[in-house]
Amino acid sequence: MTTGGGDQAGAERPTGTDPTSGTGTAAPEDAASLPLDDSNDASLPLEEGPPPGEGPRHLRPPRTVGDYARALLHRLRAQAPLAAVLAVALVAFVRIGLQHWRDGTTILGVALLLAAVLRVALPDRTAGLLAVRPRRTDVLTYAIFGLVVILLSLSITGGPLATR
pLDDT value at 31 more than 70 = no
Q: Are 108 and 85 in contact (CB under 8 A)?
A: no
pLDDT in tens, 80-131: 999 999 999 999 999 999 988 899 999 999 999 999 999 999 998 888 889 9
Write down the mean pLDDT value for the chain. Answer: 77
Cα-Cα end-to-end distance for the chain: 107
pLDDT value at 44 more than 80 = no
Cα–Cα distance measured from residue 61 to residue 40, given in angstroms and rounded to the nearest whole number: 36
Domain membership flag for residue 94: yes
Domain membership flag for residue 113: yes
**148 lies in which domain range?**
82-155
Cα–Cα distance measured from residue 98 to residue 121, given in angstroms and rounded to the nearest whole number: 33
Q: Are 86 and 135 in contact (CB under 8 A)?
A: no
Domain membership flag for residue 137: yes
Sign of CA dihedral 65, 66, 69, 75: negative
Domain membership flag for residue 104: yes
Query: Residue 110's Cα: distance from chain center in Å?
Result: 31
pLDDT over 90 percentage in the chain: 37
0.75 surpassed by pTM: no
Between 164 and 123, name the one with better pLDDT.
123
pLDDT value at 56 more than 80 = no
pLDDT at residue 106 in the model? 95
Domain membership flag for residue 50: no
Cα→Cα distances 18→14, 24, 25, Å: 8, 6, 6
Q: How many domains does the chain have?
A: 1
**Packing angle between helix 101-121 and helix 135-155, nearest 10 degrees?**
160
Between 142 and 77, name the one with better pLDDT.
142
pLDDT band with cut points at 50, 70 and 90 for residue 61: confident
Domain membership flag for residue 51: no
Cα–Cα distance measured from residue 71 to residue 65, given in angstroms and rounded to the nearest whole number: 10
